[in-house]
Structure 1
C-alpha cells in the first residue's frame, strides 16, 4: 500500500537510482549544484536586502506583513527549494547516492516531488497576476523598487524555468494538481485571516467591498486563478515532457554512481532492487 501511494505521487522506489532531482542532462552534478547554489544566494540576498531597505526607510512593519503575501511565500519557497536541492545535489555528486533521502522515510521523497511541482508552477502564476492585474504603469522611476519587483515578479519565473529545463526530472505526477489547488485555498484563508487580524487585504482583488457588493468579482478572480494554475501545471508538465523527449532522457551521473557506466548496470541494479523488495514483502507476509 505504501509503495502504491508513493508511486501515485511520483516517488516510485524502483526509480530511486535514477537520481532525477540531483542530475541534469546537460551539466555534471557538481555544475548543477553550482547553478542551484548561485540561485539560492541571489534569492536570499534579495529577500534580506529588501528587508534591510524596509528597516532603513521606517517601514519595518512591512517585514512582518510580507509573510502574508503569496509573492513572498512563493519566493521563500523558491529559495528553500534551491537550498535543499543544492545540498542533495552536492551530496550525490560526492558519493553517487541520495545520502539523505535514502535514510529518510519515503514521505520525504514525495514531499520533494510536490515541492518541485510548486516551484515550477506558482512563480509563473505570481508573474502573470502581478503584471496583468496588479502593476500600474508607468514603470518604477526609482532603481530599488524596480529591481525588487523584477526580482520577485520576473526573475522568479526565470528561476522556475531553469529548474524545468536543466535537471533530469520527470514530468509532475497528476496527484500534484489537488495539492496545488489545496495550497491556493490555504493561501486564501491566510489572506482573509490577515485582513481580520491586521486590517488590510494583501491583494486588492480579494476585497469584497462594503457589504460584499464586489463578492462576485472576487469569486471570478479566484476561479480565474484556479484555471490559470491548472493551465500552468499542464504547461510545466508539457515542457518537462518535451525536454525528456528532446534529450533522450539522458542523465549525466556522478563519478561514484553505480549506473554511470551504462544501461547494463541499470538493469542489474533494477533486478537486485526488485529481488530485495520481493524478499521484504515475502518476509512481511
Structure 2
C-alpha cells in the first residue's frame, strides 16, 4: 500500500473499478457518446475558427490563427478537445471489452492522465472568470465572434462541469494543486516569450504599459484563483462521491461483457482504497 503514493507508482492496480470510464448515472456507452460529442464540438470550433480566420483577411488571416496558439483560452480549449477524445476512446474500450487501454499504460502515463483530468476540470473556470470579469468588452461585433466567445468562454465551463459531475472520478490528488501553478507559470513564460518574438501581449493585463505595477497583482491573483477553484472542484467531486455512493448506494454503471466483473473490481477497490469520512478515497490519489 505504501508504494501507491502521490503519483501512483507501484504494482497495485491503478483504477480497479474504472472510475475514469464509468458514471454513477449513465452507462459506459452513454458516457462515451457524451465525451465524444463534446470532443467533436470542441475540435469543430477550433478548426472552423482557424479556417474562417484564414479565409478573411479582415480578421487577421492565417497570421491570427497562428497567434491563437499563444492564448491560454485556446490552449485550454484544445486541452478539452483532446482530453474528451482520449477519455472517449478509453470509455468505449471499457464499455466494449471490459478493460480500457488506460489499464495497461505505464504508471507514469496513468498519473499524467489523472493530472490531465485535473486541468480539464479547473482551468476552464479560470478562463471563464477572467474573460467575463476582466476582458469582456460588452458586445460581440459579429455572429462569428459571438459564437466563438460563447463556445470558448462559456461552454468550456459547461464541459468541465460535465466531467466533474458525471463520471465516478475520485477527488483529485492534492499535489495536483502544485502542478497547476507550475503549468500557469509555464504559460506566463509563453506569454512573455510571445511578446518578445511576435511583438504582442496575449492579454492586456500582462502589459506593464497598461496595468503598470498591477501586472504582478493580476498574475498572483490568477494563481490564487486557481488554488481556490481547485479546492472548490475537489469539494464538489468529494461531495458527489459521498452523496451518490455512500448515501444513495449508486456504485456506478459498469460494463458486464468481458474483462473484470463489477464485483471483482469493487472488491479490489475496497482492498486498495481507504475510507475517509464515509467515502472511498484512493491511496494513489492523496
How far apart, CA to CA, are the structure 2 residues paired with 1:266 and 1:148?
A: 43
Are the aligned partners of 1:9 and 1:113 in contact in 2 as well (CA < 8 Å)?
no
Q: 1:10 touches 1:172 (CA, 8 Å); kept in 2?
A: no
Alignment of 1:149-160 (within 5 A): 149-160=149-160
Aligned to 2:102: 101
State how far apart, in whole Å, the 1-side matches of 2:172 and 2:8 are.
7
| Structure number with higher helix proportion | 1
TM-score by length of 2: 0.86
CA contact (8 A) 2:16 2:265 kept: no
CA contact (8 A) 1:29 1:93 kept: yes
Distance 2:202 2:174 in 1: 30
SS in structure 1 of the partner of residue 213 of structure 2 = helix
Tell me what 1:234 maps to: 231
Unaligned runs of 5+ in 2: 273-286
| Equivalent position of 1:183 in the other structure | 183
State yes or no: 1:20 paired with 2:19: yes
| Within-5 A mapping of 1:1-285 | 4=3, 6-9=4-7, 13-58=12-57, 59-98=61-100, 100-137=101-138, 139-209=139-209, 214-248=211-245, 250-255=251-256, 256-260=258-262, 262=263, 266-267=266-267
Give the match's secondary structure for 1:18.
Answer: coil
Separation in structure 1 between the aligned mates of residue 35 and residue 130 of structure 2, nearest angstrom = 26
Checking the alignment, whether the CA contact within 8 Å between 2:77 and 2:152 is kept in structure 1 is yes
Q: Which has the larger radius of gyration?
A: 1
Q: Is the 8 A contact 2:33 2:88 kept in 1?
A: yes
Distance in 1 of aligned mates of 2:28 and 2:268: 23
Q: Which residue of 2 aligns with 1:276?
A: none
CA, structure 1 residues 10+128, in 2 after alignment: closer, same or farther (shift >3 Å)? Answer: farther
Contact in 2 for aligned 1:71/1:126 (Cα 8 Å): yes
Counterpart of 1:278 in structure 2 is none
Deviation at 1:103, TM superposition (A): 2.5
Residue 52 of structure 1: how far off its partner (Å): 1.4
Q: CA deviation at 1:201?
A: 0.2
Corresponding residue for residue 275 of structure 1? none
Distance in 2 (alpha carbons) for counterparts of 1:31 and 1:121: 24
What is the deviation of 1:259? 3.1
Partner SS state of residue 168, structure 1 = coil
Distance in 2 (alpha carbons) for counterparts of 1:122 and 1:271:
33
When the two chains are superposed, the root-mean-square deviation of aligned CA atoms in Å is 2.1
Task: Give the distance between the partners of 1:67 and 1:155, measured in 2 at CA.
Answer: 19
- Distance across 2 between alignment mates of 1:268 and 1:240: 22
1:270 shift after superposition: 6.9
Q: Give the CA deviation at 1:40.
A: 0.5
What is the deviation of 1:93?
A: 0.5
Q: CA deviation at 1:16?
A: 2.1
Give the whole-Å Cα distance in 1 for the aligned partners of 2:269 and 2:133: 50
CA distance 1:209–1:170, change in 2 (3 Å): same
